[in-house]
Structure 1
Amino acid sequence: MTESDQQDLDFKSRTQLKNESHDLQKLGEKLVDLGPAALAKIPMDQELKDAVVLARRINRKKEGFRRQLQFIGKLMRNRDVEPIQQALDLLENKHQQATAKFHKLEKLRDELVAKGDPVIDRLVEQYPAIERQKLRQLHRQAQKEQTQNKPPKSAREIFQYLKDNIQE
């Protein structure tokens, strides 16, 4: 590859530069929106952290906030933003993972209440920490509550038991 070919590859149009700058500002805005505990988990140097903390104190409706976001974007141009992006993605993904686990446990509970022993056998096989006798007892109580139109106390206990004993 000749030197002129390399220069063509390194060349970025003004539009590309503006888009990159805008993306960095958006990343900075996500940092500003984080709570203090989540912000502490993000790997960044002290100068960038100070700029983010200052932006949190500025009234969002004022021009100073927009300028501070631009400044954060400018600071991020000179840094490797990949670790920051990965940490943000991880924080956002934890919520989705927790929701998915919750729905999975709800589905297991509903299936256990509806079908009984086959589901209990499968769960005991998959998760050895689960007690077959305890699940059968809770299943019988849940069935009884359903037939008598009582509140689903045992179904809630099944959910809590599964939540406590299924580790993934």
Structure 2
Amino acid sequence: MHPQDDDEEIIYVSKSELKRDANEAADLGKELMDLDPGQLDKIPLDDDLRAAITLANRIRNKHEGFRRQRQYVAKLMRQVDHQPIVEALNKLKNLHAQETVKLHQAEQWRDRFLKDGNDAVQAFIEQYPGVDIQRLRQALRLALKEKAANKPPKYFRELFQIVKEQLTHQ
């Protein structure tokens, strides 16, 4: 034995582990193909992989071509470092979850306005002092009139937009 052989460590990777890694790469590729173009732009991908994913999305309706393209994307995914891609995907998912929470909060505020009236408006103004108070009160007044007259919910939506803007700016 040579002295340098002791320094080299042979790492054995089982066939099952290789298959698991390949399946994870394929699943990650499928997840990337499900993103819309704006979201895909936020993911750090090399040019070949980005082009392959874009082509896969274009031929999605052509079953056999799409299947082969999906396999090609999986092959390319096995050759890249997954960590930055996974981190960017997690960040995108978290942003989506945060946006969903804000929309639910806006709906809750709007419902509270319609139920409690000026008390709810005053509570909202205290919590969000930057809101256009006149616009908020006017939208509430008109939304209540709409509801009473059974008209289309134009100001009901306006009320939601005012609240959503404030939640987004905070």
Q: What does residue range 1-168 of structure 1 map to in structure 2 within 5 Å?
A: 10-58=11-59, 60-62=62-64, 65-146=66-147, 148-151=148-151, 152-166=153-167, 167-168=169-170
**C-alpha distance after superposition, 1:27-75 (max 9, x if no partner):** 112223333333332211123223334434556521x544443333333
2:63 partner SS: coil
2:33 partner SS: helix
* Alignment partners' CA distance in 2, 1:153 and 1:120: 19
Structure 2, unmatched stretches of 5+, are 1-5
- TM-score for both structures, normalised by structure 1: 0.72
**C-alpha distance after superposition, 1:138-161 (max 9, x if no partner):** 444444554x44334443332222
Structure 1 residues 84 and 60: CA distance shift in structure 2, 3 A: farther
- Residue 19 of structure 2 aligns with an amino acid whose one-letter code is K
Structure 1 residues 163 and 15: CA distance shift in structure 2, 3 A: same
* Alignment partners' CA distance in 2, 1:78 and 1:85: 15
Aligned length: 160
Q: Percent identity?
A: 41
Could you tell me whether the CA contact under 8 Å between 1:142 and 1:154 is conserved in 2?
A: yes
Structure 1 residues 161 and 66: CA distance shift in structure 2, 3 A: closer
Please report how far the alpha carbon of residue 111 of structure 1 lies from its aligned counterpart in structure 2 after TM superposition. 0.6
